[in-house]
C-alpha cells in the first residue's frame, strides 16, 4: 500500500504521514542501545516509504542523533529530518533550557552528530518557563534565516504558549502525545492546530507499546525501562488497558487489520496529523503499510469510544514524562 504524505510549511519535500521515532534507539530509558538493529530499522523504514525521521539530542544524550547521522550518509536527501532543541542535562538529569546560548550550542552539536548541513524541522522540545519565549523564538528565527533550519516546530506547548511564541517566529508543527488512550489534545491543541494550519506530529501513537497488541499482564519491565514508572503499566490500571486492547482488536478485525494498524489509522483520521512510529528493531516496522489506504467510519469511532468508556475506569495521561525546569 502506498504511503500517505503531507506538506509541512517551509519544507520542500512532502513528509510521510507515518514518521519514524528514534527515542528508543538512543537506549536511555529503553533498556540500552542496539546500534545494529537501529540501522536496520532505519533501512526498513525508508524501504516501506517512511521519509520523515524524528530524533532529539536528549535521546541517549546524543546517541540517537549519532546513529541516524551514520545511517543516512549518502542518502540524506531522501529524508525529512526532524530533531529538537531546548533540553539540557547534567549527571544524567534532564532539565529544560531554551536560552539563546543553549540553542546555538545544541544546533552545532546536532548538525555534527547528524552529519548534515541543515535540519528540516527544528522543534523546541519542552517550553522553558525560565526563558522568555521571545528570546527562544528570535534565536531560532535567526537560524532559519541563516539556512541551517527549514522550519520550526513546538513540542509539548499549550495553545497559550504557542500564541506567545508565534508573536516572534512562525511555527509549522506541534508535537504532543496523542493516541487512543491519551486524548487530552482534543480539548485544545488539536482544534488550535486546525485553526492555525499546523501539522500535528503525534508522539506515542502506540502508547509505549500498549497498542501493539502484544503485551500481557505478566510482562516484566527491567532496567531503566520507562514503563517501570508509567502509571498505565502499574496494576490495577494495567489490566484495565489490556482489557480495552482485547476489545479494540475486534474493531481492527472487522477491517482485516491488526490492532497496531488500527491505532495508527485512528491517529491519522483525527485531523492534520502525522503518527510518530517509535521503533528500535526492523520487525517493529512490519505492518506500517496496513495503516494506509483505508479510514475508520463514524460508527467505528463511536464503537471505540464505547470500549474505552466501559473498560478504562481510572484513566491517566502522560504527565509523568515531563522534565523539570532549570534549578
Q: Is residue 241 flagged as an active site residue?
A: no
Task: Read off the C-alpha cell for 14.
Answer: 512532502
Q: In angstroms, what CA-CA distances link 109 with 118, 131, 327?
A: 12, 21, 23
Task: Read off the C-alpha cell for 238.
Answer: 494495567
DSSP string across 197-243: T-EEEEE-TTTTTGGGS---TT----TT-GGGS-GGGSTTHHHHHHH
Is 255 strand, coil or helix? coil
Sequence-separated (6 or more) residues with CB below 8 Å from residue 126: 86, 87, 96, 155, 156, 322, 323
Is 132 strand, coil or helix? coil
DSSP one-letter code for 22: -
User: Of residues 59, 122, 178, 241, which has the active-site annotation?
Assistant: 59
Task: Read off the C-alpha cell for 324.
Answer: 523539570
Dihedrals phi, psi of 89, to nearest 5 degrees:
-155, 150
List the end-to-end C-alpha distance of the chain, in Å, as a whole number. 49
Catalytic (active-site) positions? 59
Amino acid at each position: 500500500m502506498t504511503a500517505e504524505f503531507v506538506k509541512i510549511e517551509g519544507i520542500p519535500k512532502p513528509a510521510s504521514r507515518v514518521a519514524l521515532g528514534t527515542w528508543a534507539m538512543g537506549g536511555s530509558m529503553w533498556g540500552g542501545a542496539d546500534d545494529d538493529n537501529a540501522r536496520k530499522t532505519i533501512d526498513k523504514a525508508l524501504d516501506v516509504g517512511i521519509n520523515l525521521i524524528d530524533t532529539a539530542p536528549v535521546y541517549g544524550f546524543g546517541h540517537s542523533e549519532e546513529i541516524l547521522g551514520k545511517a543516512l550518509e549518502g542518502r540524506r536527501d531522501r529524508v525529512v529530518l526532524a530533531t529538537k532543541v531546548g533540553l539540557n542535562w547534567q549527571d544524567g538529569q534532564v532539565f529544560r533550557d531554551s536560552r539563546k546560548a543553549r540553542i546555538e550550542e545544541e544546533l552545532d552539536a546536532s548538525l555534527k552528530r547528524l552529519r548534515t548541513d541543515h535540519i528540516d524541522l527544528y522543534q523546541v522540545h519542552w517550553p522553558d518557563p525560565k526563558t522568555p519565549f521571545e528570546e527562544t523564538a528570535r534565536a531560532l528565527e535567526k537560524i532559519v534565516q541563516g539556512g541551517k533550519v527549514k522550519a520550526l516546530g513546538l513540542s509539548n506547548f499549550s495553545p497559550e504558549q504557542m500564541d506567545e511564541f508565534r508573536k516572534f517566529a512562525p511555527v509549522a508543527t506541534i508535537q504532543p502525545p496523542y493516541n487512543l488512550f491519551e486524548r487530552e489534545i482534543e480539548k485544545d491543541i488539536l482544534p488550535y492546530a486546525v485553526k492555525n494550519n499546523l501539522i500535528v506530529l503525534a508522539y506515542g501513537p502506540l502508547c509505549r507499546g500498549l497498542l501493539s497488541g502484544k503485551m500481557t499482564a505478566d510482562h516484566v519491565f527491567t532496567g531503566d525501562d520507562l514503563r517501570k514508572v508509567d502509571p498505565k503499566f502499574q496494576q490495577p490500571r494495567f489490566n484495565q488497558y489490556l482489557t480495552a486492547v482485547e476489545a479494540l482488536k475486534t474493531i481492527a478485525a472487522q477491517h482485516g487489520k491488526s490492532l497496531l494498524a488500527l491505532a495508527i489509522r485512528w491517529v491519522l483520521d483525527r485531523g492534520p496529523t502525522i503518527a510518530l512510529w517509535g521503533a528500535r528493531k526492523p520487525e517493529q516496522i512490519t505492518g506500517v503499510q496496513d495503516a494506509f489506504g483505508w479510514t475508520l467510519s463514524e460508527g467505528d469511532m463511536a464503537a471505540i469510544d464505547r470500549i474505552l468508556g466501559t473498560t478504562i475506569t481510572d484513566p491517566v495521561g502522560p504527565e509523568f514524562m515531563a522534565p523539570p525546569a532549570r534549578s
